[in-house]
């Protein structure tokens, strides 16, 4: 097999920040590896000037900043539609220019992909207001097992070939101490890091594409985040 055929793609994403300790650690690790990622931040955290400054640093270093709801509470598909819309809208207002020009939104919630993440009214609102909804296909649950998650990350990324969207949590600084080793091992395995997303992980787009079947039914990998 030639070198090009052996290569595969990994997109790095980080949820639930910014964090005073975890996010700077992640940024330094990514800088050493010359990699760019997408950070899906909890909007309410940006009310703290120190955390807003960290988000601004991430953006200035070339990382994309996305919306991960205002409070990361009950999954939005299980809430009244007006509350769900408010969670996204208020978070985006706090992001301000950090969340532009492309508006990326990642819902929170465990289990298989489905309507518990985004209800029909919120989906319509997201389309009308120019959001792309970004999901995932590799979640090693680093926040639960800060020492053991690297092996699961490698297994899940391999299972998601040819394009893995890896969800990690910069809000878990102890777990992020192992990020460097994971990046080294992914690189050694032939992974090519990219900042985009495969179509299957972007089920809602501004132009109003219909949801693929993978959004309506469980997929084989652990999708909890």
Closest C-alpha among 61, 10, 18, 70 to residue 39: 18
List the structure tokens of 68: 């991960």
3-state secondary structure of 28: helix
pTM: 0.90
Asked if 173 and 145 touch (Cβ cutoff 8 Å), the reply is: no
Task: Tell whether the model's pLDDT for residue 212 goes beyond 80.
Answer: no
The reply to whether 145 belongs to the active site is: no
What sign results for the dihedral spanned by CA atoms 110, 176, 92, 71?
positive
> Domains, the chain, ranges and CATH?
3-216 (3.20.20.370)
* Separation between Cα atoms, residue 25 and residue 206, nearest integer Å: 33
Residue 114 in this model has a pLDDT that exceeds 70: yes
The closest alpha carbon to 18, from 53, 51, 63, belongs to 51
Q: What is the pLDDT of residue 217?
A: 31
Catalytic residue among 15, 142, 170, 222: 15
Per-residue model confidence as pLDDT tens digits over 52-71:
999 999 999 999 999 999 99
- Reply yes or no on whether 15 is catalytic: yes
Q: Per the residue annotation, which of 19, 72, 169, 222 is the catalytic one?
A: 169
Residue 216 has pLDDT above 60, yes or no: no
Whole-number Å distance between alpha carbons of 160 and 188: 17
CA pair distance 114, 123, nearest whole angstrom: 12
């Amino acid at each position: 097999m030639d070198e090009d055929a052996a290569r595969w793609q990994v997109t790095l994403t980080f949820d639930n920040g910014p964090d005073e300790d975890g996010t700077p650690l992640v940024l330094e690790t990514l800088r050493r590896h010359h990699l760019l990622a997408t950070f899906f931040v909890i909007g309410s955290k940006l009310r703290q000037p120190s955390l807003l400054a960290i988000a601004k640093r991430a953006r200035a270093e070339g990382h994309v900043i996305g919306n991960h709801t205002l409070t990361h509470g009950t999954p939005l598909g299980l809430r009244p539609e007006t509350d769900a819309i408010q969670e996204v809208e208020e978070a985006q207002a706090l992001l301000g220019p950090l969340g532009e020009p492309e508006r990326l939104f990642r819902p929170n919630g465990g289990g298989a992909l489905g309507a518990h993440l985004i209800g029909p009214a919120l989906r319509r609102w997201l389309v009308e207001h120019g959001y792309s909804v970004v999901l995932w296909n590799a979640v090693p649950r680093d926040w639960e097992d800060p020492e053991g998650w690297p092996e699961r990350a490698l297994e899940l990324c391999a299972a998601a070939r040819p394009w893995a969207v890896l969800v990690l949590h910069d809000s878990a600084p102890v777990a992020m101490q192992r990020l460097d080793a994971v990046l080294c091992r992914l690189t050694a395995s032939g992974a090519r890091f990219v900042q985009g997303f495969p179509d299957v992980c972007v089920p809602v787009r501004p132009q109003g594409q219909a949801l693929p079947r993978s959004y309506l039914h469980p997929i084989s990998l652990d999708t909890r985040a």
